[in-house]
Amino acid sequence: MTVHFIGAGPGAADLITVRGQRLIASSPVCLYAGALVPVELLEMCPAGARLVDTANLNLDEITAELVDAHAGGLDVSRLHSGDPSVYSAMAEQMRRLDAAGVPYDVTPGVPAFAAAAAALKRELTVPGLAQTVVLTRTAARATPMPPGEDLAALGRARSTMVLHLAVQRIDEVVADLLPSYGPDCPVAVVAYASRADEVILRGTLTDIAAQVHDAGIKRTAVIIVGQVLSATEFIDSHLYSVNRTR
């Protein structure tokens, strides 16, 4: 039997992939990440499926659920919000499954930063302005940042920066990025991207922290920093150029 790690998307139930939906519907066991996974996805599980909310489980308990299901000959849908390749803690689960000899596969999902960019109606890589996107977070009580990955260092390139798990430290984020990006650099904060209660804040490094505090946003938000957010004057890409040899 197989454990299926599935990206459940950023919040809207209809942003699940067709493959992910099919796997959920065929797995008699489903582990999901608490309030981050829409209830509509759980309704896709087969009748009588075992549903396990992992919000209050530790790694040992989660592993035990996966190993027990495998021992019982049952496929498992392991749902992670967004895409499991980023900030999902999937790697440590796969390492445990490797040690236990339990097979697994991975189905990608729509990441939160993509949903946020869609909500903003913005491309994060604009020709001649930004061709690099940095996905990062900040260190707090959670896993520390590796040496050299602090915001001040990452910000020196002035590329488009996307921060997950950082909105609670918006003041520190602004302080770290101001020297490189400048006070007038555009910033957007998208909370609950793709959900009915989605919140979008637009501003600059000068005023975005005050907006976040006034809106009471403390979790489930993506911060995007960079000139792409307000770009109107830029060169056309070579992709569709009349001068391109086809």
User: How many angstroms separate the CA atoms of 207 and 190, rounded?
Assistant: 15
Q: What is the pLDDT of residue 236?
A: 81
- What digits encode the pLDDT tens for the residues 14-56? 999 999 999 999 999 999 988 889 999 999 999 999 999 999 9
pLDDT tens across 83-110, in order? 999 999 999 999 999 999 999 999 999 9
Tokens of 110: 């729509």
Q: Report the pLDDT value the prediction gives residue 26, as an integer from 0 to 100.
A: 97
The residue whose two tokens read 């804040």 is 201
- Give the strands of the sheet with 186-191, arranged side by side: 133-136, 160-163, 221-225, 186-191, 199-204
Tokens of 92: 């440590």
Kind and range of the H or E run holding 93: helix 90-100
Does 69 have pLDDT greater than 90?
yes
pLDDT value at position 159?
A: 97
Residues 207, 210: Cα–Cα separation, whole Å: 6
pLDDT at 183 over 80: yes
Q: What is the pLDDT of residue 204?
A: 98
Q: What is the pLDDT of residue 141?
A: 66
Find the radius of gyration of the CA atoms of the chain: 20
Mean predicted lDDT score pLDDT of the chain: 95
